[in-house]
Each structure stands twice: as C-alpha cells, then as structure tokens.
Amino acid sequence: MKKFIKYLFLVFLGIIGAFIIAEILMQIIKPPMLFDKAKHCNYDTSIFESSTDSMDFFRYLYVDIYDDYFKLAGNLYRIKRIGPFFPDLKRNQTFTKIKKTDTTRIFIAGESVAEFYAVEILKHTLQQDMPDKNFEIINAGTGSYESYRIKRVVKEILKHQPDYIVIMVGNNDGIFEPLEINYFPYKYKIFRTSYVLNRLSNWFVKRPYLNDEECMSFFQKNVLSIVKSAKNKSKLIFVTLPRSSFYFNIPFEENFPEINHSLSNDEKYKNRRQFLRNLPQKYPWVAIADYDAILNEIVHGDLGYNIFVDNEHYHSNMYRLVSRLISEQVLKKTLKIDADYILNLMKENDFEMQEYFINNYIEDENWYARGNYLKAYYVSEKLYKSDPEKFNYFIDKSFYSNNKLWICTAIHLLISNRKEKQALKYLNLFLSKNPDSYKGYVLKALVYYKLGNRKLSEECFDNAKKINPKNNFDLKYLDKFYKEKAI
C-alpha cells in the first residue's frame, strides 16, 4: 500500500513538474493563445493569429472585462480599458472624483456606436437647448461590447454620481458569443495567464452556443439588470436600434455600391427595439431616444436612412440627431424635428471640404474610402439640387475616367430621389464599361423591380448570379422585404 501511495505521489510530482516545464517553455516562446471560441462564433481571427498583436486582442476579448474600467490618478478618473481597433479614441476621457454641484454629469455607455460618439456634439446640443446649465459628458463606450459587458460597465459608472447614462446597446449580441466570452474558464486569472491551462480548457471545457431566441433572452436579462441597478441612482436614456433596410456598402477595394440587407437581422433589431421601447412604461427612470420612429416617417425607407455608414454605424451628422433626442429627454420637452431638420443634417458639412472635393476628387485617390463616399454623396446631392447641369457634367466626366466613387454616389442619389430611369441610363453605361460587376447588375435589378418590370429584374439577378454565385438577392427576396415593410 505504501509503495502504491509512493507511486501515486511520484506520478503527481511528475505531472506537476511536466506542467511547470511546459509552462516555462511556453512563457519563453510565447505561442498565440487559442481562439477557438471566437472561431466558433464565425469571427475571423486569422489577422490576429499571424500578428504580434494577437495576445492584445485575446486580452481585449476575454480578459479586460474583469478589470476595472476606470482608473483613479490623483483627483481624476481616466478610462483604463481601451479597445484594440481605435486605441487613441478615448485617451483624453477624464472626470473628477467629486462631481461639481452645478454640473449635470452624463455618461455614454455601449458598443462601437457609443465609442464613436464625440462628446462635443452632445455637449454642444445640450447647451444650445439649455444654455443656463453646465454639462459634463464622459464617453465610456467600447467597440465589440455586447449587453453583458455593457451591464458591467454601467455597474461601475453608477459609482461615479451620474445624472444620466446614455446607453447604446443591441447590435453586437449574438456576434460575440456572450456565454463563451464572459464565463469560465476566462473568469479566473490563472486560466487567462497560463498557456498550458489555456489549451487544456479549450480542449476539454465545452460551452453552449446561443441561438437567436436564447440570445434575445440573454439581451433582455442584461438590459433589465442595467435598468434595475440604476433605480434611485441615475436616469437612463436608451438609444434605439436602426431599422435594417436596403443600404449601400462601399468596400474599400471597389468603390461601387453593393446592396446589403438581412431579414434575420431586421427581425433581431425589431424585437430588441420593441423591448427597449416598452421599458419606460414600467420603469419611470428610463427614457428612449427613438430616432428610428422619426426617420421611418421622414426619410426614404427603400435604401436605408442615407445618413448611416451602414445600418449600424452613424455618420457624424447622425449623432447630432441622436443628441437632439437625448436633449429632449433631459429637457423633458418635445423639440422640433421635421423633414427640414433631417435634410439640413444630411447637408451639413465643411464648405471648404466640399469645394476641395468637387475640384479634386478625380485626381485624389485618397478619397477612395467608405467615409469619403458619404462626403461624395452630400456633395453630389448639393449639386443635384442647386446646379443640375454641373451635376450631369461631373457624372459624364466620371464615366470618362471610370471614377467609381462618383458614379456610385450619383446612382445612389438618383435612386433615392425616385429617378429610376435616369439611374438606369447610367447603370447601363457603367455595365458597358464594367461587364463583370455583379453589384451593378444587382442594383439594376432593384431599379427594374421598382419600375415594375419583373422580367428584366429577374434577368439582371440571373446575370449577377452567374458572376457571383454567392449573391443571395432575387425577386422572392425583394417581394418578401417589401411585403413585410408594408405590414
């Protein structure tokens, strides 16, 4: 019996010794941490696995959530946790340990749409509507966060005397699997720092995958936790989610529009948006900044709101509308937001930048980026309304040089203004120069559909399918979309 115990003890020591040796070797070699959970969620991690930044991204996804969000230095709190994509975005975000008595303190919490929210925009809007008040705005949003992480951030914010917390949540739940990110084994530091335990836990610990219904339940649970935790501590203003409709995505590698739309995402947004809208009825300290309801009445629905980079991330002028709606809730008064107000938001831009673009866009390749597509759209709209001859001149010049950035903005603008026949003319010209552009054929199919010509629309869809078999748009898809929209 003693020999058996001695044998077991030696085996145990051998295992511990092998573990220590393996850990020391891995700490020296520093292999990448395993990313199987992120891959399980269909998240492309290849760029991080082949990069020296892979550990930083691993820490961002799985580790930092368990660290404090704010760090006290002297009398100032500074945001400690900074995402890997835009590390300089919030380095200057600080606030005093003790709030001034004559100041209204507002925190912004949420995912990437919150992270990109310039505090100056909200502060300027609030002070325009309430010039006799002082406002302090702190942006505590972080890209790729979902409702569980945001719940933890809000819990920490509540320690710092907020008067209002603006919460932008709902886009990311289901993209990063919340159970896999936020629970065992990464909840415990030893599993986050040990290479050996990292591999063992990934091999042997199985984690559930949330389907859409479970994800909605998880989202509701986290939001309700946020709401209940704020009672008697702070007022909450939830910003609603966008209505997922057709919109143009402008990839960096080819500046021509690709129609994007997901009916499943639309259903997710619809359910989450309705859940948020119902909160104020039960919880009097909760309000909603519901831009979707306003834009749905005022702006064209067929091609998206036209003031989004996509259906999730806002152009800077969109934040002015959100700020106006937040100001309504703080002021407790309905402010005038009509079609003219929205149109002015879309047109507002730096005049010198507009003139520079008009004079230099063809030669300057730096404009070939998604954000500059928006600038091109606003400039083209200005020309379309004020100087149609110059607008047509630039379209003709663009086709001569095959400048896809200007061409796509012009066609987008024409369709948005219900000028389908004129758009069709330029689409035909574009496809004659670019016969392999499946995006051009999909867009042409949509134009024919709106003109009521189903036969030609189907032919264009067939051509798009031949060029790109992965294209999932067809007449049935459009019929389903417009039928649901009508309902």
pLDDT in tens, 214-256: 788 889 999 999 999 999 999 999 998 876 555 555 443 344 5
The fraction of the chain above a pLDDT of 70, given in percent, is: 69
pTM over 0.95: no
In this predicted structure, the answer to whether residue 29 has a pLDDT above a threshold of 50 is yes
Place of tokens 């035909």: 428
DSSP code for 364? -
257 band by pLDDT with thresholds 50, 70 and 90: low
Give how far Cα 478 sits from Cα of 408, 481, 482, Å: 21, 5, 6
CA angle 395, 401, 407 (to 5 degrees): 35
- Which DSSP string do the residues of 140-170 spell out, in sequence order? ---TT--HHHHHHHHHHHGGG--SEEEEE-S
- Comparing 369 with 154, the larger pLDDT belongs to 154
Reply yes or no on whether the pLDDT at 91 is more than 80.
no
Is the pLDDT at 378 greater than 70? The verdict is no
> Two tokens at 216?
């909605």
Give residue-wise pLDDT tens across range 33-73. Answer: 665 444 434 444 454 444 444 455 555 555 555 567 888 88
pLDDT for residue 322 is more than 70: yes
Per-residue pLDDT at 371: 47
Whether residue 185 has a cis bond before it, omega within 30° of 0 = yes
Given a contact cutoff of 8 angstroms between Cβ atoms, the answer to whether 335 and 328 are in contact is yes
Three-state DSSP at 1 gives coil
Query: What is the residue type of 447?
Result: V
Adjacency order of strands within the sheet including 94-96: 70-73, 76-79, 94-96
Determine the 3-state secondary structure of 360 from DSSP.
helix
Are the C-beta atoms of 405 and 372 separated by less than 8 Å?
yes
The predicted structure's pLDDT at residue 160? 94
**Fold adopted by 350-486:** 1.25.40
Structural domain boundaries in the chain = 67-174+210-345, 350-486
Q: Write down the mean pLDDT value for the chain.
A: 77
Higher pLDDT, 305 or 22: 22
CA distances from 303 to 50, 291, 473, 477, 478 (A): 38, 17, 15, 15, 12
Q: Between 405 and 117, whose confidence is greater?
A: 117
Is domain 67-174+210-345 classified as CATH 3.40.190.10? no
State the first-to-last Cα distance of the chain, in angstroms, to the nearest integer.
78
Dihedral, CA of residue 263, residue 268, residue 274 and residue 277, to nearest 10: -120
Handedness of CA 48, 50, 55, 58 (dihedral sign): positive
Residue 461 has pLDDT above 80, yes or no: yes
pLDDT for 20 beyond 80: yes
